[in-house]
A and B are shown apart, each in its own frame.
Chain A
Amino acid sequence: MSLLEQFPREEYLLKGNAACAGCGPALALRYVLKALGPRTVLVIPASCSSIIAGAYPKSAFKVPVYHIAFAASAATASGLVEGLEAQGIEANVVVWAGDGGTVDIGLQGLSGAAERNHNVTYICYDNEAYMNTGIQRSGATPYGAWTTTTPLGNKGRKKDLPFIMAAHNIPYVATASPAFPKDLVNKVAKAQKIRGFKYIHILAPCPTGWRYDPRLTVKIARLAVMTGFWPLLEIEHGRLRLNNPSTNLLDPARRRPLKEYLELQGRYRHLSEEDLKVLQRQIDEQWARIKAMLRVQEELEDQVEQGQGERQR
């Protein structure tokens, strides 16, 4: 299939917007909106995207946007989707929130909306800090990363939100990257076909906050996946599956050295060999967990199958 068949030419994120040059979230949003199409309402909490949307009387988005307070996006989307359904209006209700608005401030609203299983797609674009307000650390900032509030490197560990959302037993959870647009667009399109609460987490590099030359946005996003830092996966009705190219990365030897990803970013410049080992260990643990989950999943499925066979007898 050619690129043009897969990606509509129509642009819903209009040029001349306020996003920084080389903005990873803007690139991800461009794909997301192409996948969603015009019958979409975006709910955006305080974030870089509130700025990118522009000031009255102009809007940089070709779809309606509901600007809402930091903590309220998932609750707002819940009400919005129920209201639209009550009126018989069909539309994609989609939250587009940053990592701060998702893993920190928006988490309780998000958890509640997921529990009630509203027909909403919640997309977190994760640039791993509060970039819009001046690069302050968030719960999604990885170990070791410099931010203005962690000048010696972050001591905490990146919160694993995709799996926290999976633990809510919602019908669909996925991770994505703007370096793999086909995968990203497929996941957003798939989410629209599933009824209930869907959660998609996109790792979106930020040249301003990650301290790199803006031309490297896609390269860095790709390396995040290829080094195993950011596995591409989906959890559909509780079933975990890796997506290409992460499918091949269960074997550590197939992963690119983590250094290749880190050395391009100024926020990791101060990292000691010891720090590098800590971060590498966290990534290895993450993969060991994924591997174990895949194995247990298979065993459970076998057991259920056997149980059904025995009952039928």
Chain B
Amino acid sequence: MVELPVARPSVGAAGKTGNWRLFKPSIDYRKCIKCLLCWMYCPDGVISLSGKGLPVIDYEYCKGCGICAEECPVKAIEMVKEVEG
């Protein structure tokens, strides 16, 4: 039996894409109203939900596009510069 070279589903098919990021989304949990819009509009699906229903960002893979910050209706997400200089 020949084993076919079939690609398998893997997280990080393009590596640790968090390294691409220039700005980092930072959630202010005091402002968050748990509307989940950030989770819904994240093109990379890097936002998961904690047991309390709060959004948690996986910085290992977040590319820092900033859509979550733009769409957050209560401005609870701020884009913070990753590196100075």
Contacts and interface: CB of A to CB of B under 8 A. Distances in A.
A193 interface: no
A59 B8 CA distance: 5
Interface string A57-96: 1111110000000000000000000000000000000000
Given A14-B9, A54-B7, A22 B14 contact: no
Nearest to A219: B70
Contacts, number: 117
Contacts of A123: none
Q: What interface size band does chain B fall in? A: 35 or more
B13 to A, nearest CB: 3
Given A9-B49, A17-B17, A218-B41, A57 B5 contact: yes
A7 B40 contact: yes
B14 A18 contact: yes
A10 B19 CA distance: 24
Main secondary structure of the interface of B (DSSP, over half): loop
A60 B14 contact: yes
Contacts of A20: 63
| Interface size class, chain A | 35 or more
A202 to B, nearest CB: 13
Interface in A141-195: 181
B75 interface: no
B63 A14 contact: no
Interface string A34-61: 0000000000000000000111111111
Contact of A16 (B7, B17, B65): B17
B16 interface: yes
B73 interface: no
Contacts of B44: 15-17, 19, 26
Interface of A: 3-4, 7, 9, 11, 13-24, 26-27, 30, 53-62, 181, 207, 213-219
Interface of B: 5, 7-17, 20-21, 35-37, 39-46, 49, 58, 60-61, 63-67, 69-71, 79
The 4 closest A-B pairs by CB, nearest first: A215-B66, A54-B13, A16-B12, A22-B65
